[in-house]
Amino acid sequence: MVFLLFFVFQLDAATSTFLKDRMQGSKAGDYIVTRIDNTYTVLLIKETTPHQISIEEITIPAQRLHDKRFPWSGWRNWVESGANGNTSWLLYTVHVDTGMMREYFSYTNGQWNNMSDVNNFLSTLLNLRFVKIPREEMKRVGVVPPSEKYGQDSRRIWSPKLVYEGKTVYGAEFEAWRTRWPRDCGELSGKTITVYLPKDERAYPTYFPYWLEIQGMLGKAKISIVDSGRNLESPRPGPPRKVG
């Protein structure tokens, strides 16, 4: 799975962004938990250097969270106790200067693999330029009142739910950003993608979208973050040195 993300070339830095640039502010232990359909994925920053970021990706089907064989006590405890019931546990390195990933290590089968073996979605996402959506153009809640149909819209601006360390944060502010997937003959080719990032860079990780919509795919495909946090320690050691 591994997470997502056109526009003109000369844009003010305040109105455009690359996720690969934002990732340079990440810290070891930062994590998010995403849900796509019936699959949860934990993305955990394992290690950072000035030029590289190592990320662990742990996947589990939703139905296993209710399996009595795998007692549930929250995402942090689940990972730190070994992520019982996971179906995939990977480690890959992002080169922050380029946003590229060349290979990954699978803890599941104990071997190195080339990124060409999987859909390298995150690498493309990191290298797309996002343009900030003006506040007046952001999605709002409810139907426009007849009295405001041709005037100022007073409806509340919609924002996703922000969950931090298992608790919902009420009143958190978000910024909305938009991009377009490259025309690459894949199922996302040319699709418009909208993401929401927390406005407060100090309190929450702001390089992972807390909400992502893909327009033009049987309605709107959505990815949401169900939890996030910091200072999570992985029980996995670093991968073995690659031979050859």
Instruction: Give me the pLDDT at residue 70, please.
Output: 65
CB 23 within 8 A of CB 32: no
Q: What is the pLDDT of residue 11?
A: 38
Answer yes or no: are the C-beta atoms of 45 and 31 closer than 8 Å.
yes
Q: Which residues of the chain have pLDDT under 70?
A: 1-14, 69-71, 116-120, 146-151, 216-221, 243-244
Query: Considering only CA atoms, which of 32, 73, 49, 47 is closest in space to residue 236?
Result: 47
End-to-end CA, the chain:
28
Q: 202-229, pLDDT tens digit by residue?
A: 888 888 888 888 886 655 567 888 999 9
Share of the chain above pLDDT 70, in %: 84
pLDDT of amino acid 71? 65
* The pLDDT value given to residue 234: 94
The reported pLDDT for the residue numbered 228 is 92
pLDDT for residue 3: 40
| Residue 57: CA count within 13 A, CB half-sphere | 17
* Domain ranges within the chain, ordered by starting residue: 13-229
pLDDT at 6: 30
